[in-house]
Chains A and B, each alone.
Chain A
Amino acid sequence: MDVTAAKYIGAGLAMTGLIGAGAGLGILFGNYLQAAMRNPAAAASERVYLFLGMALAESMGIFGLVMGFVILFVKV
């Protein structure tokens, strides 16, 4: 196979890591909203953990994105 074609396929495959990030963010925000609806008074105090969890969940997806960029643009 052509190396360039393999690179593009690899970069595309690296993006599948975003599936996990998407699912994680959905679970995170869904559960936060559910908890906030049940006890609105406690919602504000847990917002720190919401953002912390969002940063962690999304950073996993961002690692996938970085791998995609590395495959595409880094000359070996």
Chain B
Amino acid sequence: MAAIEPMEQFLVKKVVDLPPVQVPGLGAVDLSITNSVLFMLISAGLISLFFLAAARRQVVPGRMQAGAEMLYGMVDSVLTGGIIGDRGRPFLPFIFTLFSLIAVLNLIGLMPGGFAVTSQLAVTTALAVMTFLTVIVIGFARNGLGFFKLFWPSSMHPAMALILLPIELISFLVRPLTLAMRLFGNLLGGHVVTYMFASFVIGLGAWGLAGSGLVKLGLLGSGVSFLLIVALMTLELVVAFLQAFVFAALTCVYLNEVVNLDHGH
């Protein structure tokens, strides 16, 4: 029987070998196409194809157009409109891109044979750092040096500054860390748990088939584990959407703080 290796599914392997590229200042950089890159390209292609096919601009929308419009309307009304308000409109493309990319990456990781790109800490960190830098750049562009009012709650007594300023500063600076670790941890945990129950199905089943007497109870355990996998996959399907939604919602919350800094929204 094969060894149980729950972490093996997250290994990044090269699919297409490309010669290293010389980048000035960095030296040789390996730009080979790995399974991670491959699945990112596939999901980017899927998203583009879906929205190209859905954007037929008919007055009476077909099924695909209705689905695409529903998703877009959801992000517009709940995320940018609901959290940021009218000033959130310019960020709609950014938020919608984040949401659809993470959702499709999560879902493609659930497919048999799929590679969960968002369970790579490097990928989630890149997304989180991009969000964090966007918030800082937008904050300085909109408010100038007034950006630092973010760390100074308006109703604060000046004597409290000694305690509150470090707390506000730390809670601001850990944002990219928590954004990245939340997505990574949820995806990694979900996949490892599903793998462990799948190994119970095979292991207990083989054990029950080989033995006799009470050992036959292994077959029962195998069946229960199988039912649990079905339930877990349903949960993972929800988590895949929910984590994409939470990532986009938190990006909106962070953008809201800097965009509506002047009128205490």
Please list the residues of chain A having a beta carbon within 8 angstroms of any beta carbon in chain B: 44, 47-48, 51-52, 54-56, 58-59, 62, 65-66
Contacts and interface: CB of A to CB of B under 8 A. Distances in A.
Given A54-B246, A56-B171, A48 B253 contact: yes
A10 to B, nearest CB: 18
Contact of A51 (B177, B178, B181, B246): B246
Contacts of B82: 44, 47
Contacts of B178: 55, 58-59, 62
19 contacts: A47-B82, A48-B83, A51-B83, A51-B246, A51-B249, A51-B253, A54-B246, A55-B178, A55-B250, A55-B253, A56-B171, A58-B178, A58-B182, A59-B174, A62-B181, A62-B182, A62-B185, A66-B177, A66-B181
Main secondary structure on B side of the interface with A: helix
Interface string B74-113: 0000100011000000000000000000000000000000
Interface in B159-197: 171, 174, 177-178, 181-182, 185
Nearest to A58: B182
Contact of A48 (B185, B246, B256): B256
Question: Which of B78, B178, B250 has most chain A Cβ within 10 Å?
Answer: B178
Interface of B: 78, 82-83, 171, 174, 177-178, 181-182, 185, 246, 249-250, 253, 256
A51 to B, nearest CB: 5
A52 to B, nearest CB: 6
A65 B181 contact: yes
Contacts of B256: 48
B150 to A, nearest CB: 13
Q: Which 8 A-B pairs have the closest CB atoms?
A: A59-B178, A62-B181, A51-B249, A62-B178, A48-B83, A51-B253, A55-B250, A65-B185
Contacts of A56: 171
A67 to B, nearest CB: 11
Contacts of A54: 246
Contacts of B249: 51
Given A47-B82, A47-B83, A59-B178, A52 B253 contact: yes
Contacts of B253: 48, 51-52, 55
Contacts of A51: 83, 246, 249-250, 253
A66 to B, nearest CB: 6
